[in-house]
């Protein structure tokens, strides 16, 4: 385990939801033990800070160390792939026979150009490939996700907390136990006072009795929330997008791992069938992913409407009776 300061993991909750578990299964993958992070979670606790209601629902998540999960996926990359770490793509431009990429070391000390015939942007929510090559395609709404990791004295409650608060965001916040630490996170509506709203969320959780020790880590990243299929961009003219760069992420829960895995597989299948017509094949192979985004988008107005959510929570429908 690296020290808190040197850990280079992605800003992510590291939960593998049932959709991600299914995606791994279809890729013939399991999860090695070193990727797991305790406790494993069998319930979500929905906490509505506006109405003060709290309900537990049965859900099955695999709790992982996201850094270890990424390392595991990288270990599967075949040796025929020239994989390099610590490099940023700063600029990308179309040329007559493909693309010119301006690359640099992460610290910016070294910079050079590379040429490519085909470019695949799997560079996440802030994708430079999408921003540069597909700037005319409408982008999904971008939220600022902030996560703080706190030490906890005892083992934290073994559930995934989903927190709703109009004052914080029109999306949601979360708590995730990680061994002897607890993540508090939120996808905050961009705009003013992002950190102030986050701090106020943490303070209100503390005021409700959540016992937190020292804060050991904070990180932030954009997270996308697609609002329509027009915002999903698969690419074109020799450049493709996969995962969140394409806009593939659940608009109701921000679950993105299953979409990243399955869109990458779809593109691999589309491209290995031949260079001609890959975009059309990719479109067909991602039909179910796009349908899923529509279905999850239909769910969102119910979950995120304060009155409807309050009525559902008050009814106790499908909730678990939890012992004190
Ligand atoms: C706070 C937070 C919590 C989340 N929690 C969960 C969760 O618990 N479960 C879940 O399923 N999803 C979660 N998500 C969503 C999930 O993390 C993403 O949707 C998923 O990782 C997307 O995978 P991806 O491969 O498309 O992009 P990413 O995982 O973002 O990977 C993009 C990669 O590209 C690299 N990159 C970016 N720009 C450049 C550049 N210019 N040059 C070189 N490299 C570049 C990045 O360093 C990164 O390695 C969360 C997101 C956030 C922000």
Buried/exposed code over 231-246 (b: 16+ C-beta within 10 A; e: otherwise)? bbbbbeebbbbbbbbb
Residue 173 placed within a domain: no
**Number of domains the chain is built from:** 1
204: phi then psi, degrees, rounded to nearest 5:
-70, -35
Residue 2's pLDDT band (boundaries 50, 70, 90)? very low
Q: Which residues contact 198 (CB under 8 A, 6 or more apart)?
A: 146, 148, 168, 186, 188
The sign of the dihedral angle between the CA atoms of 191, 193, 176, 318 is negative
What distance in angstroms lies between residue 47's CA and the mean position of ligand 1's atoms?
Answer: 26
User: Each residue of 51-106: pLDDT tens digit?
Assistant: 999 999 999 999 999 999 999 999 999 999 999 999 999 999 999 989 999 999 99
pLDDT of 114 over the 50 cut: yes
What is the per-residue pLDDT for 177?
Answer: 96
What is the per-residue pLDDT for 3?
Answer: 47
What is the per-residue pLDDT for 250?
Answer: 98
Residue 147 placed within a domain: no
Measured distance CA(168)–CA(68) in Å, rounded: 31
Range of the domain at 110: 84-117
What is the per-residue pLDDT for 324?
Answer: 72
Q: Counting Cβ atoms within 10 Å, is residue 176 exposed (0-12), middle (13-18) or buried (19+)?
A: buried
Residue 94 placed within a domain: yes
Residue 314 placed within a domain: no
Which DSSP string corresponds to 67-82? Answer: HHHHHHHHHTS-TTS-
User: Each residue of 170-225: pLDDT tens digit?
Assistant: 999 999 999 999 999 999 998 889 999 999 999 999 999 999 999 999 999 999 99
Which tokens is 317 given? 């429908």
Task: Specify the residue with its C-alpha closest to ligand 1, atom 34.
Answer: 123
Q: Which residues contact 128 (CB under 8 A, 6 or more apart)?
A: 89, 90, 91, 92, 121
**Residue 231, helix vs strand vs coil:** helix
Residue 49 placed within a domain: no
Task: Specify the residue with its C-alpha closest to ligand 1, atom 39.
Answer: 123
pTM above 0.85, yes or no: yes
Task: Specify the residue with its C-alpha closest to ligand 1, atom 50.
Answer: 12
What is the per-residue pLDDT for 8?
Answer: 66
Ligand 1 neighbour 300 (Cβ under 6 A): no
Measured distance CA(123)–CA(188) in Å, rounded: 21
Angle 9-13-18 from CA coordinates, rounded to 5°: 125
Residue 159 placed within a domain: no
Residue 253 DSSP symbol: T
For residue 233, the number of C-alpha atoms closer than 13 Å in the C-beta half-sphere is: 27
Contact 134, 151 (CB under 8 A): no
What is the per-residue pLDDT for 197?
Answer: 97
Residue 98 placed within a domain: yes
What distance in angstroms lies between residue 210's CA and the mean position of ligand 1's atoms?
Answer: 28
Distances (CA, A) of 180 to 248, 308, 320: 32, 35, 25
Which tokens is 193 given? 């006072």
Residue 5's pLDDT band (boundaries 50, 70, 90)? very low
Q: Which residues contact 293 (CB under 8 A, 6 or more apart)?
A: 226, 229, 232, 247, 248, 250, 251
Query: What is the strand order of the sheet 98-105 is part of?
Result: 87-95, 98-105, 111-116
Measured distance CA(41)–CA(64) in Å, rounded: 11
Ligand 1 neighbour 140 (Cβ under 6 A): no
Residue 103 placed within a domain: yes
Task: Specify the residue with its C-alpha closest to ligand 1, atom 4.
Answer: 12
What distance in angstroms lies between residue 11's CA and the mean position of ligand 1's atoms?
Answer: 7
């Amino acid at each position: 385990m690296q020290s808190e300061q040197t850990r280079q993991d992605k800003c992510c909750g590291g939960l593998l939801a049932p959709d991600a578990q299914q995606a791994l299964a279809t890729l013939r993958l399991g999860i090695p033990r070193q990727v797991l992070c305790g406790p494993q979670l069998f319930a979500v606790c929905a906490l509505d800070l506006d109405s003060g209601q709290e309900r537990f629902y049965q859900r099955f998540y695999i709790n992982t160390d996201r850094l270890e999960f990424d390392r595991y996926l990288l270990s599967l990359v075949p040796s025929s792939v020239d994989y390099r770490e610590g490099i940023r793509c700063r600029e990308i431009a179309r040329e007559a026979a493909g693309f010119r990429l301006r690359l640099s070391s992460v610290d910016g000390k070294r910079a050079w150009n590379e040429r490519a015939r085909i470019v695949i942007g799997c560079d996440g929510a802030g994708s430079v490939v999408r921003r540069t090559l597909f700037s005319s395609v409408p982008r999904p709404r971008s939220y600022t996700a902030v996560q703080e990791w706190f030490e906890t004295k005892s083992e934290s409650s073994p559930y995934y907390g989903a927190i709703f608060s109009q004052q914080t965001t029109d999306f949601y916040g979360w708590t995730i136990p990680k061994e002897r630490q607890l993540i508090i996170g939120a996808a905050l509506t961009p705009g003013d006072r992002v950190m102030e709203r986050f701090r106020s969320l943490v303070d209100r959780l503390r005021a409700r009795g959540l016992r937190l020790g020292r804060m050991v880590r904070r990180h932030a990243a954009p997270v996308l929330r697609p609002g329509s299929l027009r915002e999903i961009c698969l690419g074109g003219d020799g450049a493709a997008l996969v995962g969140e760069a394409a806009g593939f992420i659940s608009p109701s829960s921000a679950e993105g791992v299953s979409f990243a895995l399955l869109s990458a597989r779809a593109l691999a299948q589309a491209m290995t069938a031949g260079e001609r017509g890959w975009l059309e094949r990719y479109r067909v192979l991602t039909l179910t992913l796009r349908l899923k985004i529509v279905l999850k988008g239909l769910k969102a107005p119910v979950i995120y409407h304060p009155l409807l959510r309050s009525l559902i929570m008050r009814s106790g429908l499908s909730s678990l009776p939890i012992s004190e």
